[in-house]
């Protein structure tokens, strides 16, 4: 398992190094921008060695496990900052460390996610590190988390949800509707592909348009595709919304289950971590995600299945749920909606009931078309 370790310094962390060996980066490395005499450099190196040894000897109170993409690191930093703001003992230098773990989904970039198969492509190795005690909590994008959780783990915390909508990004068109027939759109999501083709069958979708946000934007600028869709939540967390051409409404593009939500897991027998996470949990988000995941569980959704679902609180305080399943080619799209009280029991029932309805309407062979 490849892991990289960072301390909880307030500086901006670099991207994951290519060297798979365990590394510790602290704010002390910023001295390189200053001009110093040879004697001063020796003193700095000595001071650095002492500080680094002190950091390594100090046992972190919390080790946060995460993927190494810029977005995953932004989510880990958000979690770290909230923990430091809520608990004084965690605000001390070295109290929180960020451990980068490379997942199967990060290693295999040449194939569409649907072709790789299996669940937990972006979570399995992180979950293993959690169970083995290599990390104390795991920060996930909730839409990557399988509907089941590994034994010995719980996911008691969702941070406040970001904007769930998808962003349209193009250098030549203002919207999907403005793209000429035959234009190629890049996406790794079957959910997006099926909804695009359902509304705009004259467009072409390249469904192995993978990589982190920066990689996809580079491919777009190089003309590999005419447009792409990205989660607006990720662009906001990366402070990259200046790249957005337009934002798709929920009516035009129903989001993925749990899109825009961050989930934090810990070991089921770790009461201290569960207590820390309870202080960060945003209950309205947790209930919405529970409803959507009940819908997904009923449909037994995977990366091979175009499924969308979104639960929100309406103006009257009730839960409004909308769900969708589609054939991969977009020729058939089935939708449903439910309204009920914004409580855990009712919302779980809403999600399950909506899933059962669409499963019945879809019939056998629907997802093979």
**Tens digit of pLDDT for each residue in 295-318?**
999 998 655 789 999 999 999 999
Catalytic residue status for 251: no
Question: Is 35 inside a domain boundary?
Answer: no
d(CA 310, CA 246) in angstroms, rounded, equals 20
User: Considering the entire predicted model, what is its pTM?
Assistant: 0.82
Residues 268 and 322 in one domain: no
Residues 358 and 227 in one domain: no
Question: Is 46 inside a domain boundary?
Answer: no
d(CA 329, CA 190) in angstroms, rounded, equals 9
Instruction: Please list, in sequence order, all residues whose beta carbon lies within 8 angstroms of the beta carbon of residue 217, skipping any fewer than 6 positions away.
Output: 169, 228, 240, 243
**Among 17-26, 52-61, 110-119, 187-196, the least confident range:** 17-26
Quick: pLDDT tens for 174-216: 999 999 999 999 998 999 999 999 999 999 999 888 788 999 9
Query: What CATH number does the domain containing 335 carry?
Result: 3.30.160.40
Q: Is 185 in a helix, a strand, or coil?
A: strand
Residues 81 and 155 in one domain: yes
Quick: pLDDT tens for 238-273: 999 999 999 999 999 999 999 999 999 999 999 999
Question: Is 77 inside a domain boundary?
Answer: yes
Cβ proximity of 314 and 200 under 8 Å: no
Given the residues 106, 127, 144, 270, select the one marked as catalytic: 144
Query: What CATH number does the domain containing 139 carry?
Result: 3.40.190.10
Question: Is 22 inside a domain boundary?
Answer: no
Q: Dihedrals φ, ψ of 170, to 5°?
A: -155, 150
Whether the pLDDT of residue 2 is over 70: the answer is no
Residues 318 and 267 in one domain: no
d(CA 13, CA 98) in angstroms, rounded, equals 10
Of 141 and 7, which is predicted with more confidence? Answer: 141
Residues 131 and 102 in one domain: yes
Residues 277 and 152 in one domain: yes
Torsion of Cα atoms, 131 then 135 then 136 then 138, to 10°: -80
* Domain that includes residue 181, residue range: 166-247
Instruction: List the one residue out of 146, 147, 129 whose CA is nearest residue 138.
Output: 129
Residues 97 and 217 in one domain: no
d(CA 248, CA 245) in angstroms, rounded, equals 10
Residues 273 and 129 in one domain: yes
Domain count, the chain: 3
Question: Is 151 inside a domain boundary?
Answer: yes
Label residues 120-139 b or e (16+ Cβ within 10 Å = b): bbbbbbbbbbbbeeebbbbb
Of 305 and 14, which is predicted with more confidence? Answer: 305
d(CA 210, CA 190) in angstroms, rounded, equals 12
Question: Is 359 inside a domain boundary?
Answer: yes
Question: Is 4 inside a domain boundary?
Answer: no
Greatest alpha-carbon pair distance for the chain in Å reads 77
Identify the residue whose tokens are 């529970």: 290
The arrangement of strands across the sheet holding 333-340 comes to: 307-313, 319-326, 333-340
According to DSSP, residue 159 is labeled P
Instruction: Please list, in sequence order, all residues whose beta carbon lies within 8 angstroms of the beta carbon of residue 149, skipping any fewer than 6 positions away.
Output: 155, 265
DSSP characters over 60-128? PSEEEEE--SHHHHHHHHHHHHHHHHH-GGGSSTTSEEEEEE--HHHH--SS-HHHH-SS-TTTHHHHH
Question: Is 334 inside a domain boundary?
Answer: yes
d(CA 16, CA 68) in angstroms, rounded, equals 6
Residues 176 and 219 in one domain: yes
């Amino acid at each position: 398992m490849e892991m990289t370790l960072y301390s909880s310094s307030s500086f901006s962390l670099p991207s994951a190094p290519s060297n798979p060996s365990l590394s510790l980066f602290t704010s002390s490395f910023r001295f390189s921008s200053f001009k110093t005499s040879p004697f001063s450099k020796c003193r700095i190196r000595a001071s650095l060695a002492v500080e680094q040894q002190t950091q390594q000897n100090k046992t972190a109170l919390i080790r946060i496990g995460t993927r190494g993409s810029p977005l995953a690191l932004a989510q880990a930093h958000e979690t770290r900052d909230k923990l430091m703001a809520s608990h004084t003992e965690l605000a001390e230098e070295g109290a929180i460390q960020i451990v980068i773990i490379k997942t199967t989904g990060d290693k295999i970039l040449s194939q569409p996610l649907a072709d790789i198969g299996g669940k937990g492509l972006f979570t399995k190795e992180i979950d293993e590190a959690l169970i083995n005690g290599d990390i104390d909590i795991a920060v996930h994008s909730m839409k990557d988390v399988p509907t089941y959780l590994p034994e010995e783990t719980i996911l008691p915390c969702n941070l406040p949800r970001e904007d769930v909508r998808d962003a349209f990004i193009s250098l030549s068109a203002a919207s999907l509707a403005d793209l000429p027939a035959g234009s190629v759109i890049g996406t790794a999501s079957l959910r997006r592909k099926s909804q695009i083709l359902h509304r705009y069958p004259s467009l072409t979708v390249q469904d192995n348009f993978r990589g982190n946000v920066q990689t996809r934007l580079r491919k777009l600028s190089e003309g590999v595709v005419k447009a792409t869709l990205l989660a607006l939540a990720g662009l906001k967390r990366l402070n990259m919304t200046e790249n957005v051409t337009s934002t798709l409404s929920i009516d035009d593009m129903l989001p993925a289950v749990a899109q825009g939500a961050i989930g934090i897991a810990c070991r089921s027998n770790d009461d201290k971590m569960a207590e820390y996470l309870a202080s960060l949990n945003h209950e309205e988000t947790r209930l919405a995600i529970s409803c959507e995941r009940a819908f997904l569980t009923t449909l037994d959704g995977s990366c091979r299945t175009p499924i969308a679902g979104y639960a929100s609180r309406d103006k009257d305080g009730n839960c409004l749920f909308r769900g969708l399943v589609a054939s991969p080619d977009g020729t058939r799209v089935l939708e449903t909606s439910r309204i009920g009280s914004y409580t855990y029991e009712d919302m779980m029932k809403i999600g399950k009931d909506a899933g059962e309805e669409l499963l019945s309407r879809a019939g056998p062979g629907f997802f093979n078309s």
